[in-house]
Amino acid sequence: MDHILLAGPDDESCLHFGTAVDRRTLRGLVAEQAERLRAAGVTTGGTVALRLAPSLGYTAALLACWQLGAQALLLDHRLTDREVALAVERLAPQVLVESAHRPAPALRGFSETDPVPRALPGGRPAATGHALLQLSSGSTGPAKVIARTAADLIRELDCYRRLAAFPKAGERVVLLSSVVHVLGLVGGLLNSLHAHVPLTVPERMTAAGILAAIGADEAPTTVIGVPFHAELLAGATAPPPLPQLRRMIVAGELVRPGLPAAFTARYGVPLGTMYGMTELGVIATDLDGGLHPQAAPVHGVELREDGGELHIAMPASPYPGLADPTRWSDGWLHTRDAGRLDPAGGLVTVLGRRDSQVSIGGLKVDLTEVEQTLAAVPAVREAVVVFEEGAIGAYLATEPGTDPEAVRTALAGELAAYKRPRQLSFLPALPRTATGKLVRDASVLRAAAGSATA
């Protein structure tokens, strides 16, 4: 994929991890990492696991894997040693690449890394022709192994190229999403290299750090992140004038009611949204914020609604070694997302996970509806609603000094009694996955609530 990602004038600035990097420098770093991988035994068809923080070193190591024709397995650097060991045992890569440097503190946007390849005993060459293996975020259960081919990645880059409102040459991107996961990797890093759009990762993932990164260059700027980042910026106190800011685009989970209007009121630009999956990448977009809650499918994506669930045409299963007809069958990926298709205009409305529908006393309740109703209460910053042992429970992060009874009273005016959570747990902040998604595992939420009250 060198001609797709590395081609361009030598002096063209392409990445900014603290300092600007031009294409000549990037190509040299990729060549250096390729030599290290060769010395560790990597050849065409080899398998390499990368456990590296967002960095220039990570970028060079990933591109070096593909330059050698190897299959890259991406492991989030925030995984514990035990989790990494389990992934290595499960997937048997031939080489594991880690950094000689310690990871940066949590709020840093990137790290200094010196990638060090290490050959692993018992590692196996690639069993398929996929270029990339990723693990799903695991926000609702165990992580899935998801495989993508080089052709599929190039197809997704073509989808971004066709989106008129997505950054083009002469503009820049400030990336907040993790480059280990699909939005930050393809929509951010790979697309920026392909489209000749310089990409900046902020030094600190705070509101002040993000705003400083936006203001550091006069070129028209798009910010790409998850809804949590938009919440952070919408709540920023007295942000500076940012005439270069064109829009922010978020994906990963549903946007709470009121956030697009709050973001636009603060910055005067739209909060665009995208719907996508690790299995396929970008699926539908509303980059100008004018369609919300609907979105327009991207070029080449065929959607259908089957019993209230969204299915997407996909010629082969993205799950290597897994034969599960409830996930993929007969050329269709079963998203497990509830949604509606507008037969006239072709627009899609994503309603949330299908497993969010439960029965209370024989009455159907959509937990997504309850969650979004809670999130719309002015004092509530974020909410997760779960169902266990026959009852609905809610975990809330609220503004300081919020009276719990005021939240309960507001909810009583919005939801029928059978839809209301039996228990409300108040936390300073809700736990999130490595990709910034809210955790929905009830045991993790209970533990967080217990720690908050201890």
Alpha helical stretches, state H, 48-188: 56-67, 81-91, 150-162, 182
Alpha helical stretches, state H, 340-439: 367-375, 404-412
Nearest to 146 by CA among 309, 331, 281, 285: 281
**Which tens digits make up the pLDDT trace of 105-128?**
667 889 889 999 999 999 999 999
With a cut of 70, say whether residue 361 has pLDDT above it. Answer: no
Measured distance CA(215)–CA(404) in Å, rounded: 39
With a cut of 80, say whether residue 102 has pLDDT above it. Answer: no
With a cut of 80, say whether residue 140 has pLDDT above it. Answer: no
Measured distance CA(396)–CA(88) in Å, rounded: 36
How distant, in Å, are the alpha carbons of 131, 145, 225, 379 from that of 135? 14, 5, 19, 35
> Which of the four pLDDT bands, split at 50, 70 and 90, describes residue 78?
confident
DSSP state of 377: S
**Which tens digits make up the pLDDT trace of 255-265?**
888 899 999 99
Measured distance CA(441)–CA(448) in Å, rounded: 11
Decide which of 410 and 175 is more confident. Answer: 175
Q: What is the pLDDT of residue 137?
A: 57
Q: What top-level class would CATH report for the domain 2-148? A: alpha beta
- Find the mean pLDDT for residues 76-99: 90
Alpha helical stretches, state H, 16-141: 23-39, 56-67, 81-91
pTM value > 0.75:
yes
Measured distance CA(435)–CA(433) in Å, rounded: 5
**CATH for the stretch 361-453:** 3.30.300.30
Residue found under tokens 């590296």? 52
Q: Which CATH architecture has domain 151-301?
A: 3-Layer(aba) Sandwich (3.40)
With a cut of 50, say whether residue 5 has pLDDT above it. Answer: yes
> Which of the four pLDDT bands, split at 50, 70 and 90, describes residue 208?
very high
Q: Where are the chain's structural domains?
A: 2-148, 151-301, 361-453
Measured distance CA(389)–CA(252) in Å, rounded: 28
For the chain, the average pLDDT equals 91
Domains 151-301 and 361-453 share a fold: no
Report how far Cα 37 is from the mean position of its chain's Cα atoms: 28
**Which tens digits make up the pLDDT trace of 265-298?**
999 999 999 999 999 999 999 999 999 889 999 9
> Which of the four pLDDT bands, split at 50, 70 and 90, describes residue 143?
low
By the 8 A CB rule, do 248 and 225 touch? yes
Measured distance CA(382)–CA(399) in Å, rounded: 10
Q: pLDDT exceeding 70 applies to what percent of the chain?
A: 96
> Which of the four pLDDT bands, split at 50, 70 and 90, describes residue 389?
confident
Amino acid at 34: A
Give the pairing type, strands 199-200 and 221-225. Answer: unpaired
> Which of the four pLDDT bands, split at 50, 70 and 90, describes residue 454?
low
Measured distance CA(382)–CA(403) in Å, rounded: 16
Under DSSP, is residue 57 helix (H, G, I), strand (E, B) or coil?
Answer: helix
Measured distance CA(433)–CA(252) in Å, rounded: 11
By the 8 A CB rule, do 207 and 220 touch? no
Q: At 324, give phi and psi (nearest 5°).
A: -130, 100
Measured distance CA(208)–CA(210) in Å, rounded: 6
Q: At 160, give phi and psi (nearest 5°).
A: -65, -40
Q: What is the pLDDT of residue 121?
A: 95
With a cut of 80, say whether residue 20 has pLDDT above it. Answer: yes
Classify residue 401 as left (phi > 0), alpha (psi -120 to 50) or beta: left
Q: What is the pLDDT of residue 260?
A: 94
